[in-house]
Structure 1
Amino acid sequence: MSFKKFIVSKGVLGALIIVLFYGLLMVGIYFSGYKVVPSKINQLPVAIVNQDKDSATLKKQLKKSLPFKHVKTDLNMKQAKSQLNDRKVYLIINIPKDFNANLKKMDGQSKGELKFYINYANPMTSVSSMESVAKSVGNHVQKSVLLQQSKGILTAAELSQLESETKSLITANPTQKDAILQKAEQTKSTATAKINQTYTNVANSYNYSIVKMNKAPSGM
């Protein structure tokens, strides 16, 4: 049999068709299965477990700021860990007991620490995404906490100085006590408003963005 006849024989043509069909089928299955991963990360369910009664506001802020459509907030820690292991949630943000109280102590020993639980048995794409979210949330909360603590320190110092000056004035002019106290209250309100406005401006002056150079096409 000549080479030409061999090439155009039914067996060889059938084999080539099967190879081409199989290759196209595998490529089609691969891309249809993986192209959704980068664009559907926000569909993965996550959980916020708040164990601190004084951190209800933080819990609401986290839920509002998270880039996920399904955020569970009604689970306890045991339930959340079980769902994490069963891949029913992909990230747990835990606000531990006394989180808010430890932040306010500022004694160099107590520490308010958010905990992020990630199941590393999941595909690397979801693990990497959850790590990025955890770092982003952690940095955001840290910035917010630092601003609030700094504002609290400044306010306390300002009011302490005002209180000391008011006592001195009353001691020197006891007959004008009411007028001095009224003026001190006005000064206190003005100082507090200025401090609040200053820190509002500081918070609004910060922005965070990610510039993705040579970004791979979606699905690659």
Structure 2
Amino acid sequence: MIKLGLIGHPVGHSKSPHFFKTKLASIGKSDVEYKAFDVENIDEFEEIIKFEEGLIGLNVTIPHKQSVIDKLCYLDEEAKAIGAVNTIVKTENGWKGYNTDSFGFSKSLKPFIKGRHERAIVFGSGGASKAVVYSLAKLGIKTVVVSRTPSDGQIGYDELTSEAMAHYLLLVNCTPLGTYPKIEDCVDIPWEGVTENHLAVDLVYNPEETTFMKRSKSQGAKVMNGADMLRLQAERSLEIWLEYGL
């Protein structure tokens, strides 16, 4: 049996298995199994690809989008530029990494971008954040990354002011805060700086309306979750697997 899957931790909340089961059936490939692997340590990846018979492709989610790179033979050019991977495929020469988050984020965001959204604040500095920053740069949008552990060019949450928020009218939450079941969690930011001119995007899609979105809406901002991005990046992942003979 041909198998696909998802690696990450935790993965119990993921909608990917249901999405791919439905999608695969719609293209006449209901015999392909899609399985979620709860992988706490990325070293477990090597055991999965060795012992899971028939496995030809995987999606990669938090917290392994960067750490999985060292386990792969080579990367697609865009994944290399981003520095994070969310889709991998078994090739004749070994496992290859791609990033479809960038595609999904850009395509889902474009219909909502206005002229005033020329600067963005990105919360989080993990693999998803890297894809978002890359995508925003391609759209000509300047970004500031806010992180709990800021590195060069980034700032900490304690450095973020309401005055700065007023000048960055696109807000993107790339942290897992607020994901089910910890739905009350949220980034700690100066909410008084959020206005009706802001667009607040949360990559979290479960629940459909996160605390980040609710608090942004209460300040008058427009909001969107990560559901469209999830669907679009997943569809692109499937296209890649099909290109390799799924």
TM range (shorter): 0.3 to 0.5
Structure 1 or 2: larger helix share? Answer: 1
User: Based on CA coordinates, which of the two structures has the bigger radius of gyration?
Assistant: 1
TM-score with structure 1 length normalisation?
0.33
Structure 1 or 2: larger strand share? Answer: 2
TM-score with structure 2 length normalisation?
0.30
